[in-house]
Structure 1
Amino acid sequence: MNFALDGLRVFLSDSSSPLYGHELVGKTIEPYLSKLTTTFSCWEHRLALKSKFRIDQAESGFPVFQNLLELEADRKDADRELAKLRDPALIKKEMIDHIFRRKGFPKEQQSEIAEYHYLSQIQKGEIFNSHILPETIKVSVNPRNGRPFYVLHWGAFDGSATLPIVYMATIEDSSQKISEMLVGRNGKLKPNLNIPLPVGGLLNPEFAVQFDEFTGKNSSYSLKPITIAQNLDEDFEYLHLKQLRRFVLGPFYGAGFTANSDRVSQILSKVRKPQNAWVLTWTMQEVFSKAERPAKRGLWSSSPARDEFHINTDDLEATRQGVSHYEKHALVPHEAYQALYADGQASELFNGFTVHVISGNQVIGV
């Protein structure tokens, strides 16, 4: 998995990557990838302390949700537990003395060092949590209607599907207070504004807490993007979702420990270098508003503005997913792709995917 995440980082660092064809998507995903890398590093250190660790071998190829909950629980007590530990420099000195004097491996000191590194990492909180709160990364004004709009992102590690997910949303705000605060008479952002982006949460403080709660309840992989969009439209009278993107990382296929495709796992196990024996897939889903029904204000009844979201009914898979558009991608080392191709599995495994083959620090298409 570490090699796969490093490969994905190479892919993201390429400005010609398809993810950079979508505004801000590539740069948005990178911090979540760093969080995921840190999470796996924490799990590695924890394995030196705990023997129990489970992977969803049959489906996603990622560690099961319980492992993540244990990290989150340990983080709450990290400060207190770190205070109980000895100076790591002293522990390392004891390890060296043990090796030279006793001619053996210092298992006890190794566990102490592992615990120190583990607690130090989770203390910083830079792991891929079960729910990563929203962050506003862009603020502007729609010139057609004069509304301010925000670009936000948030994350979730889905417990049922055992998959890390990143969301991005473009949301217009029609509330009067925020418009008076942000928009000048010329219909643009006021020039004297100093907004220190990124901003934690929704920029509008009136709805920020409610929006945090919404993302916590509406980030499950089992919810189709169209359902999330419609839920947001119903829950917020003055927030108007114009675009929602969902980046779903996985499944992951690795030699020796995943069984989500037995045949693929068998072929990957024959790859000469273990660091090349994997396949990482992801899906990019998008739903966007095609029109907005204006608000109605009457003497006897009224209704807020509502968005109408586009579903591509000409594509059965898009209809099934509940999206306007979707893309399926696969990243695979050159040696693994050769093995899959030689065995005749490449066309079946990668059917419907855009395949990116990584060789060294370069990524090429197929």
Structure 2
Amino acid sequence: MRADTGAAGAYFRSMHAALKGLRVYLSGADSPLYAHGLVGQVITPYIDRLEATFSAWENRVGFMDRFRISRADSGFPVYQNLLTLENDRATAGERLAAIADVETLKAEMADFILRHKAFPAALQEQIAERLYLEEIGQDELFAPFILPETVRVSINPKNGRPYYVVHWGVFDGSRTLPMVYMATIEDSSQSIASMLVAKDGKLKSDVDIPLPVGGLLNPEFARAFDVSAERNGAYSLSPATIAQNLDADFEFLHPKQLRRFVLGPFYSAGVTDNSDRISTILSKVRKDENAWLLTWTMQEVFSKTESPAKHGLWSSTPARDVYHIETDDLEATRQGVSAYQKHALVPHDAYQALYASGEAESIFSGFSVHVVSGNQVISEV
């Protein structure tokens, strides 16, 4: 997309509207995601990161010629755009020092217009670059890999093990999909048990844990867990495979539940061509900010049993979890999950257009549909 064609502007308007609608859905007390405890609260900051990232990209389009998205697949920007942000963050301070502040540039623009009776495009590009560099230096963006964070600590009353709820983010480069992972992990190491577990089998009341904690709570495994989570973050790996790999990497860490929130595909009228049928219908919607459709999938795999550790004279086998795959559901089996949910978020105008076309039932088959109407989201229409 070129910045001067108008396609970029339409794309950013529709994406900003979609992310705003998604945040409204996630933050609502009646959101179905709150039935899953921390899920809605965990995902919302990642949406904030995405919004900041798209704002930065929008400013970048103001002084760069091209911006590429995965038009035929996810509808999200290609991975190189994310790497460019990371590289620009490293040099933002140096580049800002060479650009005048925004007020000075605006004054120069006004003077240029008065003297030359023309629009100062070069000065406008400098303002866009300045805003872009300021933004990427201040805001938290959606990086290729966002380090794990512990948001809950408790004790499993059945076995006395401490467990953590940990989340992290990944932008899959091959599928151009932003994803959020969330795992419940038991820790059977003796050192952490003596630190956290009281004699009554509950969490020690005198232990101050200032949640959230960056990384896995147990410092002995925190660095290695970061590496394992990043290595096993690809969309091509099923949740069951990821849980098994995490389980295999650590003798004393036991993933009991893993959730993956996959955002996308995103459909935008006149920009994406990942579905001719959807694009044709969306093109009939008058406003760009209402001509989009955002889908996401929530995947979950949980441990159905744990094979006990075996210690012998010559060898030993650590405890390993056995994960449940719902084989009665062909789609769950294909995804490698215990359960999954497919969701679609769509503006009211776009939903009306889809409904009027007679295609709504087939397009939304298998999806829970959420319609954005003003500052509200109406679910299960």
Structure 2: distance between partners of 1:81 and 1:46: 14
Structure 1: distance between partners of 2:109 and 2:153: 53
Q: Which amino acid aligns with 1:169?
A: A
1:256 aligns with 2:237: no
Structure 1: distance between partners of 2:289 and 2:317: 57
Q: Which residue of 1 aligns with 2:200?
A: 186
1:203-244 CA distances to partner (integer Å, 9 max, x unpaired)?
111111100101111010000000001101111000000100
Structure 2: distance between partners of 1:129 and 1:19: 24
1:46-100 CA distances to partner (integer Å, 9 max, x unpaired)?
1112112111111111111111111111111112212222222211222233334
Q: Which amino acid aligns with 1:210?
A: A
Q: Which amino acid aligns with 1:282?
A: W
Q: Which residue of 1 aligns with 2:332?
A: 318
Q: Which residue of 2 aligns with 1:296?
A: 310
Q: Is this contact kept in 1: 2:71–2:272, CA < 8 A?
A: yes
Structure 2: distance between partners of 1:100 and 1:193: 67
What stretches of structure 2 of length at least 5 have no aligned partner? 1-14
Q: Which residue of 1 aligns with 2:23?
A: 9
Residues 226-265 of structure 1 mapped to structure 2, 5 A cutoff: 226-265=240-279
Q: Is this contact kept in 2: 1:75–1:125, CA < 8 A?
A: no
Structure 2: distance between partners of 1:104 and 1:195: 60
Q: Is this contact kept in 2: 1:91–1:113, CA < 8 A?
A: yes
Q: Which amino acid aligns with 2:152?
A: K
Q: Which residue of 2 aligns with 1:134?
A: 148
Q: Which residue of 1 aligns with 2:71?
A: 57
Q: Which shows bigger deviation, 201-210 or 98-107? A: 98-107
Q: Is this contact kept in 1: 2:343–2:368, CA < 8 A?
A: yes
Q: Which residue of 1 aligns with 2:351?
A: 337
Of 66, 73, 79, the match for 2:93: 79
Q: Is this contact kept in 2: 1:141–1:188, CA < 8 A?
A: yes
Q: Which residue of 1 aligns with 2:181?
A: 167
Q: Which residue of 1 aligns with 2:280?
A: 266
Q: State the 1:196 CA deviation.
A: 1.2
Q: Which amino acid aligns with 1:294?
A: P
Of 218, 224, 237, the match for 1:204: 218
Residues 104-115 of structure 1 mapped to structure 2, 5 A cutoff: 104-115=118-129
Q: Which amino acid aligns with 2:238?
A: K
Q: State the 1:113 CA deviation.
A: 1.2
1:284 aligns with 2:298: yes
Q: Which residue of 1 aligns with 2:48?
A: 34
Q: Which shows bigger deviation, 209-218 or 179-188? A: 179-188
Q: Is this contact kept in 2: 1:279–1:333, CA < 8 A?
A: yes
Q: Is this contact kept in 2: 1:68–1:130, CA < 8 A?
A: yes
Q: Is this contact kept in 1: 2:52–2:139, CA < 8 A?
A: no
Structure 1: distance between partners of 2:225 and 2:53: 26
Q: TM-score, normalised by structure 2?
A: 0.94
SS in 1 for 2:64: coil
What stretches of structure 1 of length at least 5 have no aligned partner? none
Structure 2: distance between partners of 1:31 and 1:207: 25
Q: State the 1:19 CA deviation.
A: 1.3
Q: Which residue of 1 aligns with 2:58?
A: 44
1:131-165 CA distances to partner (integer Å, 9 max, x unpaired)?
00000001111111111110010001101111100
Give the fraction of aligned pairs with identical amino acids, expressed as a percent: 66
Q: Which residue of 1 aligns with 2:231?
A: 217
Q: Which amino acid aligns with 1:215?
A: A
Alpha-carbon distance change, 273 to 87 in structure 1, aligned in 2, over 3 angstroms: closer
SS in 2 for 1:77: helix
Q: Which amino acid aligns with 1:111?
A: E
Q: State the 1:125 CA deviation.
A: 5.2
The Cα RMSD (Å) is: 1.1
Q: State the 1:103 CA deviation.
A: 3.5
Structure 2: distance between partners of 1:275 and 1:65: 24
Q: Which residue of 1 aligns with 2:9?
A: none
Give the 4+ runs in structure 1 shifted more than 4 A: none
